[in-house]
């Protein structure tokens, strides 16, 4: 099972980008999104509940917004080890951060996907309110394409590992 988890606070503008990216992928690639081997979780402020979602899959993509020294809308494909450094500077209001949650899961031997990727998008505006900044909005199709690429890789890998 490929688990796709969208994270973010919908009332803090670009912080909702993770959710918007996954919705864009569902809209653009409906057949992929309807694959029974895919589990989509619009997790919002998931905190520690992230562990509950991750135990469902052998691979996972977390989609989230980050604060980075990069133009708004810049996309990053990160692995788990790279997440912590990005989260350290995050002003996100997710409560329990994804990096801490993943580290906690690993430390207690929680069931977690062997293959975990983070699709992150650089925020432009994290103020209170609804709606994405133009640069982040513009990046949504490209970001959705990145999810599709990961999905196809997963299917290919699944096919050959059977």
* Interacting residues with another protein (CB under 8 A): 9-11, 41-49, 51-53, 91, 93-95, 100, 103-104, 107-110, 128-129
Q: How far is CA 158 from CA 58, 117, 152, in A?
A: 10, 16, 10
Q: Which is nearer to another protein, 64 or 73 (CB)?
A: 64
Quick check: 55 and 41 in contact, CB under 8 A? no
Tell me how far, at minimum, the Cβ of 10 lies from another protein, in Å. Answer: 6
Tell me how far, at minimum, the Cβ of 3 lies from another protein, in Å. Answer: 13
Q: Which is nearer to another protein, 9 or 146 (CB)?
A: 9
DSSP 42-102: EEES-GGGHHHHHTT-SEEEEEEEE--SS-TT-EEEEEHHHHHHHHHT-----SS-HHHHH
Q: Which is nearer to another protein, 16 or 139 (CB)?
A: 16
Q: Which is nearer to another protein, 68 or 84 (CB)?
A: 84
Tell me how far, at minimum, the Cβ of 47 lies from another protein, in Å. Answer: 5
């Amino acid at each position: 099972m490929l688990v796709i988890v969208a994270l973010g606070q919908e009332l803090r503008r670009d912080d909702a980008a993770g959710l918007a990216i996954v919705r864009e992928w569902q809209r653009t690639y409906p057949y992929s999104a309807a694959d029974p081997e895919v589990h989509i979780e619009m997790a919002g402020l998931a905190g520690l509940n992230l562990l509950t979602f991750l135990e469902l899959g052998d691979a996972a993509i977390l989609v989230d917004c980050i604060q980075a020294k990069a133009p708004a809308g810049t996309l990053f494909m990160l692995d788990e080890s790279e997440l912590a450094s990005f989260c350290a500077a995050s002003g996100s209001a997710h409560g329990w951060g994804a990096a801490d949650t993943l580290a906690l899961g690993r430390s207690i031997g929680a069931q977690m996907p062997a293959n975990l990727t983070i699709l992150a998008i650089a925020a432009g505006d994290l103020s209170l309110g609804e709606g994405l900044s133009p640069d982040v909005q513009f990046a949504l199709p490209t970001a959705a394409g990145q999810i599709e690429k990961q999905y196809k890789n997963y299917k290919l890998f699944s096919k050959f590992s059977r």
